[in-house]
Amino acid sequence: MGNGADGIFFLTGKDFNNAGTASSNLKAVLERMGIAQDIIRRTAIAAFEAEMNVVIYAVAGMMKYRVTDTEISVTVQDMGQGIPNIDLAMTEGYSTAPDHIRAMGFGSGMGLPNIKKNTDNLSVNSIVGEGTTLEFVIQIKD
């Protein structure tokens, strides 16, 4: 490789018809860079789950990525309701998704655990009433 890349995508709350666009764009960037399939798959899954949470629970947000020779780091930051108890939110099965969101297939409380499972490092910071910032890293092993 030898070359890095970085970029940013904007996310809009409640915009379900464009939801998933940022993560598929990120996936396309990584494919163009020739990153290994497995690394791309894990990154895309984590990015999709984070993106959907912004669409569902926040007003707006952004996804920033940076790719180096050794790792992919992604920051998903939103303006939204925030998470009062992060440990609880990270628990598999815990969800506050309302019924109309559940009807679309969300709300199993597995999004954050899926991010955790697919990344090498995850940090979640949140201020109630202001927003949430997720940062995750996927190591690129050669």
Partner 1 sequence: MELQELINSLSLEVKTPELDLHREVTGGYASDLLSDVIGNAHKGNIWVTLQVHLNIVAVASLKELAGIILVNSRNPDADTLKKANAEKIPVLTSTLPTFELVGKLYALGLRCR
Ligand X SMILES: Nc1ncnc2c1ncn2[C@@H]1O[C@H](COP(=O)(O)OP(=O)(O)OP(=O)(O)O)[C@@H](O)[C@H]1O
Contact residues for Mg ion (CB under 5 A)?
53, 111
Q: 62: which residues sit within 8 A by CB, 6+ positions away? A: 8, 9, 10, 11, 76, 77, 78
Whole-angstrom Cα distance, residue 48 to residue 20? 6
Q: Which of 95, 136, 138, 140 binds ligand X (CB under 6 A)?
A: 95
Token duo for residue 62:
């952004």
Between 26 and 140, CB nearer to ligand X: 26
What number of chain residues touch ligand X (CB under 6 A)? 24
H or E element that contains 35: none
Can residue 13 be called a binding residue for partner 1 (CB under 8 A)? no
Q: Which residue is nearest to ligand X (CB)?
A: 111
Which one of partner 1, ligand X, Mg ion, none interacts with residue 80, CB within 5 to 8 A by kind? ligand X
Which residues bind to ligand X, rule: CB under 6 A?
A: 49, 53-54, 57-58, 78, 80-83, 89, 94-97, 106-113, 132
